[in-house]
Amino acid sequence: MPRIGGSNSSTCVDGARGVTKAKAYVLMLVAAPLAGCALMQPAEDPMEAKVAELEKRVETIERVVDNQSLVQLTQQVGSLERSTDELQGKTETLEHDAGTTAERQRQLYADLDARIQALEKAQKTRDTNDVLEGGTLPPGQLPLPSGSDRDNYQVAFELLKGERYDMAATAFKEFLEKFPDSDLAANAQYWLGESYYANNKYEEALKDFELVIKDYPDSSKVPDALLKMGYCNYSLKRWDAARTTLSRVRADYPETTAARLAGQYLKRMDSEGV
């Protein structure tokens, strides 16, 4: 015969188990949709997370490196600017020193040149005075052997003015030998003839005046040379040659002093009947 107490206990246990199973079933029904949602969302990939983390670290490092590079570049630019300033300063100093040196050299050169010119001038003056104050002038020698064409021309002209006609003629001859291309050659040729004419050497004078006309036809001395040729012919009593030459001066150079003097000489010849 079954026990009442034992039967009730069993029934209670079985009932409890049933309730537990029912709860479990209900939980399963509720959890099933949630589990489905979980399956539909993919789980995070660990590799992708690591890659993302590495990328962030790389970006951080790059920013640091970039910042350091900018700092270094800034430092380098500053250093270059300082070096440029130093070089500019040295360049300006060198330019100033060079300018000062060049100016000093110019001053020294100018002073030296002035002193040399003064010495040369003094020497030329002494040589000129030696010639003009009774010295001799051998043929083949210039009055101032180391002088220029103008220096020698001036000495020869001073000899002529000082009525030292023989020395003047020698000086002008040597001038024409040594300086044939001088712009004073035509004048020298004329004054050579004048040196002979003033010394009453009319034949020699006539030849040199003719050379003025022949060799220097564009010279301003041509009218004067023609006039003096007329004078030489008159002095040599070559009346027709004198009249022809003097008339040529009046016809070819009517507005010159030579033409006026030629006219006066022609009147003189008319009055003399020659």
pLDDT at 170: 94
Shared-domain flag, residues 112 and 195: no
Question: 188 and 227: one domain?
Answer: yes
Residue 216 reports pLDDT greater than 90:
yes
Which pLDDT value is given to residue 113?
75
In terms of domains, do 82 and 106 share one? yes
Mean pLDDT (whole number) for 161-175: 94
In this structure, the answer to whether residues 98 and 211 fall within a common structural domain is: no
Same domain, 175 and 261: yes
Mark whether 214 and 265 lie in a shared domain.
yes
Residue 48 lies in a domain: no
Q: What is the mean pLDDT of residues 88-101?
A: 84
Same domain flag for 214 and 131: no
Residue 40: is its pLDDT beyond 80? no
In the predicted model, is pLDDT for residue 164 greater than 90?
yes
Residue 16 falls inside a structural domain: no
Query: What is residue 88's predicted lDDT score, i.e. its pLDDT?
Result: 84
Closest CA to 247 of 264, 272, 222: 264
* CATH number, position 188: 1.25.40.10
Residues 220 and 258 in one domain: yes
Whether this model's pTM surpasses 0.85? no
Rounded Cα distance between 253 and 167, Å, is 32
CA distance 210 to 189: 10
Rounded mean pLDDT, 45-52: 81
Assess whether pLDDT exceeds 90 at residue 13.
Answer: no
Rounded Cα distance, 156 and 166, in Å: 10
Q: How confident is the model at residue 157 (pLDDT cuts 50, 70, 90)?
A: very high
Lowest-confidence region among 49-63, 167-181, 226-240: 49-63
85 lies in which domain range? 58-135
Q: Which of 81, 103, 135 is a domain's end point?
A: 135
- Break the chain down into helix, strand, coil percent, rounded to 5: 80, 0, 20
Distance of alpha carbon 212 from alpha carbon 189, whole angstroms: 6
Q: State mean pLDDT over 104-133.
A: 62
**What is the spatial distance between Cα 110 and Cα 209, in angstroms, rounded to a whole number?**
44
Q: List Cβ neighbours of 211 (8 Å cut-off, separation of 6 or more).
A: 189, 193
The tally of domains found in the chain comes to: 2
Give tens-digit pLDDT for 229-266. 999 999 999 999 999 999 999 999 999 999 999 999 99
Looking at this protein, which amino acid is placed at residue 235?
Answer: S
pLDDT higher than 90, residue 68: no
Q: Lowest mean pLDDT: which of 63-67, 116-120, 152-156? A: 116-120
Q: Tell me, what's the pLDDT at 202?
A: 98
Band of pLDDT at residue 217, cut at 50, 70 and 90? very high
* Residue 46, pLDDT score: 80
How high does pLDDT run on average in the chain?
A: 81
Residue 256: DSSP 8-state: S
Task: Render 113-146 in DSSP notation, one character per residue.
Answer: HHHHHHHHHHHHHHHHHHHHTT----TT--SSTT
Q: Mark whether 111 and 171 lie in a shared domain.
A: no
Q: For helices 222-235 and 239-252, give the axis angle rounded to 10 degrees.
A: 160
Task: Report if residue 65 sits inside a domain.
Answer: yes
Identify which of 271, 201, 189, 251 has the alpha carbon closest to the alpha carbon of residue 231.
Answer: 201
- The pLDDT, as a whole number, for residue 58 is 82
Asked if residue 221 and residue 106 are part of one domain, the reply reads no
Q: Which residue has the higher pLDDT, 71 or 206?
A: 206
Per-residue pLDDT, 115: 64
Of 135, 157, 191, the residue that ends a domain is 135
Q: Is 1 inside a domain boundary?
A: no
**Residue carrying structure tokens 């010639």:** 131
Domain boundary among 82, 103, 135: 135
d(CA 6, CA 10): 6
**Closest Cα partner for 222 from 195, 196, 197, 259?**
259
Question: What span, in angstroms and rounded, lies between the C-alpha atoms of 263 and 168?
Answer: 30
Q: Is residue 46 part of a domain?
A: no
Together in a domain, 108 and 189: no
In a domain, 220, yes or no: yes
If asked whether residues 124 and 165 sit together in one domain, one would say no
How confident is the model at residue 112, as a pLDDT?
Answer: 62
Q: Which residues does 201 contact at the CB level (< 8 Å), separation at least 6?
A: none
pLDDT at 219 over 80: yes
For residue 262, the model assigns a pLDDT of: 97
Which one is predicted more confidently, 159 or 139?
A: 159
What pLDDT is recorded for position 77?
81
* Structure tokens belonging to residue 116: 């040399």
Domain-located, residue 3:
no
Residue 34 lies in a domain: no
